[in-house]
Amino acid sequence: MAGGLTLQDVSLRFGGVTVLQDVGFAVEPGQILGLVGPNGAGKTSLFNCISGHYRPTSGRVLIDGAEVQGARPATLAKHGLARTFQHPALQLRATVLENVLLGAHTRLPGGALEWAFRTPRTRRAERELRAEALALLERNGLGWAAHLPADELSHGLHKGVELCRALLMRPSLLLLDEPAAGLSHGEVEQLITTVRRLRTDDDITVVVVEHHMGLIAALTDRVVVLDHGAKLMEGTAAEAQSDPRVIEAYIGKDAAADDAA
Ligand SMILES: Nc1ncnc2c1ncn2[C@@H]1O[C@H](COP(=O)(O)OP(=O)(O)O)[C@@H](O)[C@H]1O
Ligand SMILES: [Mg+2]
């Protein structure tokens, strides 16, 4: 089974600013790992280091044992990696279906030249991708919206569209950055069911950044807590929630914000 992820001593610095300091953990294939921590802890930056949007200053990122730190997102897609973003950036004038298809050309056979000439093989593959994208939208309750411009959908539904886009890459490893932010209670319940199915039906390994502790507790096998760019602890969601260091990290953040106010 694919989708294993290992981080070893990942550090990230921008000039004099240390964003990540020697972060290490492993996710076994088929696991759901929660990545939590106060705002500014470095969670999104860590995702960026895994997904090729940032190159770690030092340390190693391995997917199924292959070193991938510094690789480009397109290369990482070939290793089975897909992600969603904290702030989905859809093409608002394009339809929902077109948005789901964005980026999926990497799954077409051949290369850029063949795609440009739209050979019969390319066109057949495009039709198959479209059908698959529609099926994904249906499965996620968005079939009705497939041909609407994306800007007619709510923020919560944009997150669903983005998830479909990531799933069309047929990932074995999926990174979700705050998928529940801005969702209604009912939408969060639906999301929990969806992510559970990704594991049981599709064998997808999931790393999820989320502040919604109900979702983290319901979904994850383990959590890693980040604070100030470093790993504070690793354990079950229940262990994290009762760990004095974790409580301190969150409260300290509030106190610091109060001081600044
Ligand atoms: N490109 C960048 N240049 C400088 N600082 C950055 C950059 N990206 C992230 N940071 C800094 O890294 C820290 C962690 O940010 P982020 O990873 O977004 O945290 P989180 O997702 O946990 O809220 C913040 O202080 C942020 O300003
Ligand atoms: Mg973030």
Residues at CB less than 6 angstroms from ligand 1? 14, 17, 19, 37, 39-45
Residue 120 has a pLDDT of: 86
- Specify whether the CB–CB gap between 259 and 50 falls below 8 A: no
3-class state of residue 65 by DSSP: coil
Q: Which pLDDT score is estimated for 1?
A: 84
Residue of minimum CA distance from atom 5 in ligand 1 = 14
pLDDT of residue 81: 97
pLDDT of residue 115: 78
Cα(30) to centroid of ligand 2, in Å? 24
Question: Where do the domains of the chain lie, and which CATH numbers do they carry?
Answer: 5-80+171-260 (3.40.50.300), 90-155 (no CATH)
Q: pLDDT at position 60, please? A: 98
Which ligand gives the minimal distance to the CA of 176?
2
Q: Whose CA is nearest to atom 3 of ligand 1?
A: 14
Rounded to the nearest whole angstrom, what is the distance from the C-alpha of residue 143 to the centroid of ligand 1? 35
Alpha helices by DSSP H, 79-184: 96-101, 112-117, 120-139, 155-168
Report which of 166, 168, 249 is spatially closest to residue 179, judged by C-alpha positions: 166
**Minimum CA distance residue for ligand 1 atom 27:** 40
- Asked if 240 and 233 touch (Cβ cutoff 8 Å), the reply is yes
Residue with CA closest to ligand 1 atom 25: 40
| 58 three-state secondary structure | strand
pLDDT value of position 256: 55
Considering every ligand atom, which ligand is closest to the CA of 19?
A: 1
Q: What is the pLDDT of residue 254?
A: 60
Return the number of other C-beta atoms located less than 10 Å from residue 49's C-beta. 25
Nearest atom of ligand 1 to the alpha carbon of 15? 4
Instruction: Write out the chain's pLDDT in tens, 261 residues.
Output: 899 999 999 999 999 999 999 999 999 999 999 999 999 999 999 999 999 999 999 999 999 999 999 999 889 999 999 999 999 889 999 999 999 998 787 777 777 777 777 888 888 988 999 999 999 999 999 999 999 999 999 988 999 999 999 999 999 999 999 999 989 999 999 999 999 999 999 999 999 999 999 999 999 999 999 999 999 999 999 999 999 999 999 887 665 555 555
Q: What is the 3-state secondary structure (H, E, C) of the chain?
A: CCCCEEEEEEEEEECCEEEEEEEEEEECCCCEEEEECCCCCCHHHHHHHHHCCCCCCEEEEEECCEECCCCCHHHHHHCCEEECCCCCCCCCCCEHHHHHHCCHHHHCCCCHHHHHHCCHHHHHHHHHHHHHHHHHHHHCCCHHHCCCEHHHCCHHHHHHHHHHHHHHCCCCEEEEECCCCCCCHHHHHHHHHHHHHHHHCCCCEEEEECCCHHHHHHHCCEEEEEECCEEEEEECHHHHHHCHHHHHHHHHHHHHHHHHC
